[in-house]
Amino acid sequence: MLEQIFQFLVAGITVGSIYALVGLGFALIYNASDVVNFAQGEFVMLGAMTAIALLGAGLPLALAAIAATLLTALTGLLLERCAIEPAHGASVVTTIIITIGAAIFLRGVASLLWGKNSLPLPAFSGNEPINLGGATLLPQSLWVLGGTVLLVGLTRAFLNRTLLGKALLACSFNPAAAQLVGINVKVMLRLAYGLSAGLGAIAGILAAPITFSSYEAGIMLGLKGFSAAIVGGIGNPMGAVAGGLLLGILEALGAGLISSGYKDAIAFVFVLMVLFFEPTGLFGHKVAERV
Amino acid sequence: MLIQRLIRIFIAIMLLAGVNGVSAAEPIKIGTFLTVTGPAAFLGDPELKTLQMVIEDLNAKGGLNGRKIELVHYDTGGNAREALNFVKRLIQKDQVDLIVGGTTSGDSLAVIPEVEKARIPLISLAGAVEIIEPVRKWVFKVAHTDRMAAAKIFEDLRKRGLNKVALITGDGGFDKSGREQVLKLAPEYGMTLVADESYGNKDTDMTTQLTKIRATDAQAIINFGFGQAPAIVTKNIKQLGINLPVYQSHGVASKTFIDLAGEAAEGVRLPAAALVVAEQLPDTDPQKPVLLAYKKEYEAKHGPVSTFGGHAYDGIMIAAEAIKRAGGTDKAKMRDEIEKTSGFIGTAGVFNMTQKDHMGLNLYAFKMVEIRDGAWKIVE
């Protein structure tokens, strides 16, 4: 039984770290403009699908991954420039609706480019399961975990330690004041979308060997990532990670110990409880104070 | 003024004549509603391409009874309510003569009352046995049922002397219907189900459910589902080091599954239509030429065939044969002729419909195949 629970935990952490990685991408755009970008899941899908396509075209895996990340970042940037920027001055809700439209558009383009089948990406370091005290996990899970730790660290450092990151945060608190002290808000927003898309792409590429990818893979990943982000407190990179892991572990334990039929219900009831008692998320107090 | 009026009258007469001219060889209108987008898109996509391809061919050969065929298509996106709206539109606005379609069981079941009311023949491409059971006067289907798949799997298990099975299924309509058939048929074949787990079709990890299965004394695992989830299940089984025979359903009988599951797919068995193993059939098999011809033509245009496109081929061809025999598009006559379909060699098998059986396939239509070296092998 103990061995089983250990395996449940491993499964939960694997899935949870994927949610966390996706959730992380929400933070940057939210920090820059208070907007929840519902096309974030599509960035995740674009990253994975582009990498798969480039790999298919003969590029080595590492190169395909890097190129896919850059291309997706560019897509994010273009999205901001062509769809978000023209709506300058619109309310947050309007912008969110634009991102939903962008998500549908990106999904459509992906289905035309790559068809409607799920596609695999080969694992980075083989498929030989690693045995950990009776529980097994795939080497790719370690890549996802490592990627999560690294990217969270980088995002946090970027937002809190660099001038650029602080400028980004300033744009969200008060765009007019930020403009007055010489921050180019427009450029900051483009940067936020580009970086978010890049982060999403990395998440997609790291997870694709486990989850596969298809033109609509972004819907579910985006939803779960968003849940992770709000549970942890949206805007806080550490929150996304905690939220993602919590969600993943709850799903796995719920499926394993109670019933696999109620897996999602258990996780979403938890999300509702968190929102009910801690509307700013588990780690979201800081945001509330700063406002 | 007078000249203008004369011109108008002249144009009106021309138009009327034109309309009359068309009505002399008015096209046969075949309606279809498929799931070309959404989660079941990989089913509906090859179906639509097949319908368009076959109709183009038939028209190039002069159509049916000297009339061209026109396809009217709506994409339901897998939404049963939309399916119903589109079928109403096909019947009332487009006034089609016959309907081929319903990619998913949900879509097909939703439109049955409307079709029965309008008294128009429907040939469904979906799997669930409920579509033709109980028999409805105007409803036919051409895809293998999930009950046949379950029976085929149990037959194979019995041959191998295994009787304790663990079941794991997704949360889609196909999965649930398959699960019901497995549960229903298990006692008939002397099978004991030692686990009955489920997962969400968009889940990315099923090791939790499989860990529970590992703890039982199951001798084999059956997974009913389609899309990417069964591939993840197969990979997770390998990851957990579970060394049991794995059975998948006909829902994954496409190359995509092998591509997704990779090495983990080795040794997986599933009941599949003969289309995926067309080349391996003996030359004496009556289906072989039909399968190879369809495969060749489809692959030249669209890439690898799937059995789902095959169902569309069977559906439209059965309809075409029936229209030919009926000598026109009288709905009641077409219906009677479809019901009389016998010895029709399709991609799914040899169809022998009767008043009591609006599908007309037997278990022989399924081949038990195993995945070896990344390819399908018949193991009967």
For residues B255 and B305, give the distance between their C-alpha atoms in angstroms, rounded to a whole number.
9
Q: Are residue B172 and residue B275 in the same domain, yes or no?
A: yes
Split at pLDDT 50, 70, 90, the class of A216 is confident
Residue A107 has pLDDT above 90, yes or no: yes
Position B266 in a domain? yes
Position B20 in a domain? no
Q: Are residue B319 and residue B372 in the same domain, yes or no?
A: no
Q: Are residue B132 and residue B152 in the same domain, yes or no?
A: no
Position B352 in a domain? yes
- Are B260 and A264 in contact (CB < 8 Å)? no
Position B10 in a domain? no
Q: Are residue B207 and residue B333 in the same domain, yes or no?
A: no
Position B8 in a domain? no
Position B19 in a domain? no
Q: Are residue B202 and residue B120 in the same domain, yes or no?
A: no
- Are B235 and A127 in contact (CB < 8 Å)? yes
For residue A291, the model assigns a pLDDT of 44
| CA distances from residue B86 to B75, B93, B111, B220 in whole angstroms, order as listed | 8, 10, 9, 43
For residues B330 and B315, give the distance between their C-alpha atoms in angstroms, rounded to a whole number.
18
For residues A261 and B203, give the distance between their C-alpha atoms in angstroms, rounded to a whole number.
12
The overall average pLDDT reported for chain A is 89
Domain count, chain B: 2
For residue B14, the model assigns a pLDDT of 56
Could you tell me which residues come within 8 angstroms of residue B328 by beta carbon, excluding any fewer than 6 positions away?
B65
Instruction: Report chain A residues whose CB lies below 8 A from the CB of B243.
Output: none
CATH number at residue B241: 3.40.50.2300
Task: Establish if B304 touches chain A: CB-CB under 8 angstroms.
Answer: no
Q: Are residue B128 and residue B160 in the same domain, yes or no?
A: no
For residue A126, the model assigns a pLDDT of 85
Q: How far is B26 from chain A (nearest CA, A)?
A: 34
For residue B68, the model assigns a pLDDT of 93
Q: Are residue B134 and residue B158 in the same domain, yes or no?
A: no
Range of the domain at B172: 147-279+366-378
Interface test with A, best of B204, B232, B254, B258 (most A CBs within 10 A): B204
Q: Are residue B190 and residue B202 in the same domain, yes or no?
A: yes
User: Residue B194 class from Cβ within 10 Å (0-12 exposed, 13-18 middle, 19+ buried)?
Assistant: middle
Interface test with B, best of A5, A210, A212 (most B CBs within 10 A): A212
List the one residue out of B253, B197, B258, B249 whose CA is nearest residue B224.
B249
Q: How far is B38 from chain A (nearest CA, A)?
A: 8
pLDDT by 10-residue block (mean), chain B, 380 residues: 63 53 72 88 91 94 91 91 94 94 90 95 91 92 91 94 94 85 93 92 88 93 90 93 93 86 92 89 90 94 88 95 92 94 92 93 89 90
For residue A278, the model assigns a pLDDT of 83
- Are B211 and A115 in contact (CB < 8 Å)? no
Instruction: Report chain A residues whose CB lies below 8 A from the CB of B210.
Output: none
- Are A256 and B212 in contact (CB < 8 Å)? yes
Q: Which residue of A has its CA nearest to B304?
A: A117
Q: Are residue B293 and residue B331 in the same domain, yes or no?
A: yes
Q: Are residue B239 and residue B373 in the same domain, yes or no?
A: yes
Residue-wise pLDDT for A124-147, tens only, equals 988 888 888 788 888 999 999 999
Please state which of the ranges A209-218, A254-263, B159-168 shows the lowest mean pLDDT.
A254-263
Residue indicated by tokens 């193991």: B379
| CA distances from residue A242 to A20, A125, A196, A284, B241 in whole angstroms, order as listed | 7, 26, 19, 12, 30
- Are A116 and B259 in contact (CB < 8 Å)? no
User: Could you give the ipTM of this predicted complex?
Assistant: 0.81
Q: Are residue B32 and residue B136 in the same domain, yes or no?
A: yes
Residue B75, phi then psi, degrees to nearest 5? -95, 120
For residue A257, the model assigns a pLDDT of 87
Residue-wise pLDDT for A20-34, tens only, equals 989 988 888 888 888
> CA B226, B229, B232, B238 torsion: positive or negative?
negative
H helices present in chain B, as ranges: 2-24, 41-60, 80-92, 105-118, 146-159, 173-185, 207-214, 229-239, 255-261, 287-302, 307-326, 331-339
Instruction: Report chain B residues whose CB lies below 8 A from the CB of A118.
Output: 42, 227-228, 231, 256, 260
Q: Are residue B246 and residue B195 in the same domain, yes or no?
A: yes
Residue-wise pLDDT for A55-95, tens only, equals 999 999 999 999 999 999 999 999 999 999 898 888 889 99
Task: Establish if B238 touches chain A: CB-CB under 8 angstroms.
Answer: yes
For residue B209, the model assigns a pLDDT of 92
Position B231 in a domain? yes
Q: Is A119 helix (H, G, I), strand (E, B) or coil?
A: strand
Could you tell me which residues come within 8 angstroms of residue B105 by beta carbon, excluding any fewer than 6 positions away?
B126, B127, B128, B130, B131, B173, B174, B177
Position B80 in a domain? yes
